[in-house]
Amino acid sequence: MNAHRTSRLLWSATAVGFLAMAASWFVCGPARFWANWLVWFLFLFTLALGALFLVALEHMVAARWSVPLRRIPERLSSLLVPVSAVALLALGAVPVLYPGARPAAAADPVLGGKAVWLGLPFFSARVAICVALGLLAVAVMFRDSLRQDASRDPRYNVRARRFAPVCMAIFAVLVTQAAFDWIGGLEPAWYSDVMGVYLFAAAFLAGLAATALALLYLQGRGRMQAIRFDHWYNLGGFLFAMTVFWAYIAFAQYMLMWYGNLPDEVSWYQARTHGAWLGVALLLALLRFFVPFFALVPRDAKGDPRRLLWVSLVVLASHWIDLYWLVFPVLGRTPLFSWPELGFALFFLGGTLLWVRSAMERGEDMPVGDPFLKEGLEFRL
């Protein structure tokens, strides 16, 4: 399929998705519209943040193996630019889905005392600050790296290494804010210290899976041919490690709440592990842990691009199921999945792929100005 036809297909998918989205507002009401919007916002936000985290991690620990493929997570992290607009629009969900921002909250004995924190003005201020911080991090990490392509100036590496810890701090704030406000705020009477780490594991996984897919896309076009088994192996190893980490965090949260059996904690799981939602939870455990874990256990599988292709697709699909399972139970006891969800998927996937396709043309495929590129290309396990 040639590039022109692909882009026409993506544009029409986005347009059809947009129409379905608009129709779902009028047919199914704003609550379901905003729930879908929220899931896709968090999906793309965590994906872009995960990519940013990979870049910052490389600079912070002075990793060499990932220098040749660093440009890919850099390009993916530029998704934060359109996602910022999605984030600001998502504020429309706050009066609809978030009990703490409704007028009735003032009379509630629990929510009343937190009205300032949960209310729309301060909520919006936090989101705005986070969006600005995210854009700053992407600007410093990606724009300067692009400049190095032409200038070949090694001072960029020094600056990036100094900025990487700041970038990590920004990442931590953004992920925590998303877990705290966007997910925790849906049920403000519920507490979990682990939600931030849970979302961090999910973000890292999404960033890794998207990087692997983008790399495969470029290799399919005859680019990035210098990436060998050894690089794939490290990427697959990370994917494997974070799969286990996610399962560990998810189960730790579940088991402690199950054991404590406190009404304000366990009610969250009551809604998510009973009736049809139990099926979604089991599907999530299967696709987010068991399938990738057993697929990546053998040594050669971690460096096999064909294996990583479908595992990455499973990881991204399960990332969507994860967010769906976190957000949608506030709408009711039956999981809603029908044409509005497919319409949102068409719109956001089409739009994202359009953005990523053009982002993949920005700068050289590898950071040619980086003095450590040669070392990274010669990397052996």
Partner 1 sequence: MSETCAVLGLFESADALMEAVPRLRSQALGRLEAYTPYPVHGLDRALGQRRSPLGGMVFIMGLLGALTALLFQWWISAVDYPIVTGGKAPSSWQAFVPVMFEIMVLFGTFTAGLAMLLLLNRLPFFGHPVLRSKAIQGITRDRFALALEADAPGFDPQAARAALEAAGARDIELLPAPEPGPFLTASFIQRSLAGIAVSCVVAGLVMYGAVKLFPVLPPMAHMLDQPRLDPQKPSAFFRDGHGMQLPVPGTVARGHLPPPFANEEQAAVLVNPLPRTPEVLARGRFEYQVRCAVCHGVLGNGVPTLSAAYGAKPANLLAPNFRAYTDGAIYGTIVLGKNAMPSYAADLPEDARWAVVHYVRALQRAGNAKDEDLP
Count of positions on this chain that bind partner 1 (CB under 8 A): 10
What is the nearest approach in angstroms of partner 1 to the Cβ of residue 303? 14
Q: Of 173 and 285, which has the nearer Cβ to partner 1?
A: 285
| Interface characters, 351-380, with partner 1 (x: CB under 8 A) | -----------------------------x
- Rounded to 10°, the helix 305-327/30-61 angle is 130
Q: Of 139 and 286, which has the nearer Cβ to partner 1?
A: 286
Question: Contact 150/369 with Cβ under 8 angstroms?
Answer: yes
What is the amino acid identity at position 272? Answer: R
The residue within the footprint of partner 1, chosen from 9, 27, 169, 297 (CB under 8 A), is 297
Stretch that binds partner 1, among 53-61, 255-263, 320-328, 348-356 (CB under 8 A): 255-263
In this structure, what DSSP letter does residue 65 have?
T
Q: Of 122 and 293, which has the nearer Cβ to partner 1?
A: 293
Contacts of 343 (CB under 8 A, 6+ apart): 16, 17, 19, 20, 21, 23, 24
Distance in Å from the first CA to the final CA of the chain:
36
Residue 254 touches partner 1, criterion: CB under 8 A: yes
What is the nearest approach in angstroms of partner 1 to the Cβ of residue 255? 5
Residue 368 and residue 381: Cα distance in Å, rounded?
A: 22
The residue within the footprint of partner 1, chosen from 261, 263, 306, 361 (CB under 8 A), is 261
Stretch that binds partner 1, among 19-27, 29-37, 83-91, 258-266 (CB under 8 A): 258-266
Residue 71 and residue 362: Cα distance in Å, rounded?
A: 9
The residue within the footprint of partner 1, chosen from 162, 299, 333, 374 (CB under 8 A), is 299
Stretch that binds partner 1, among 87-95, 256-264, 313-321, 356-364 (CB under 8 A): 256-264
Question: Contact 308/239 with Cβ under 8 angstroms?
Answer: yes
Say which residue the tokens 């199921």 belong to. 321
Residue 146 and residue 71: Cα distance in Å, rounded?
A: 9
Contacts of 190 (CB under 8 A, 6+ apart): 184, 264, 265, 267, 268
The residue within the footprint of partner 1, chosen from 11, 191, 258, 310 (CB under 8 A), is 258
Residue 60 and residue 158: Cα distance in Å, rounded?
A: 10
What is the nearest approach in angstroms of partner 1 to the Cβ of residue 241? 15
Residue 26 touches partner 1, criterion: CB under 8 A: no
Residue 255 touches partner 1, criterion: CB under 8 A: yes
Q: Using CB under 8 A, list all residues that contact partner 1.
A: 251, 254-255, 258-259, 261, 297-299, 380
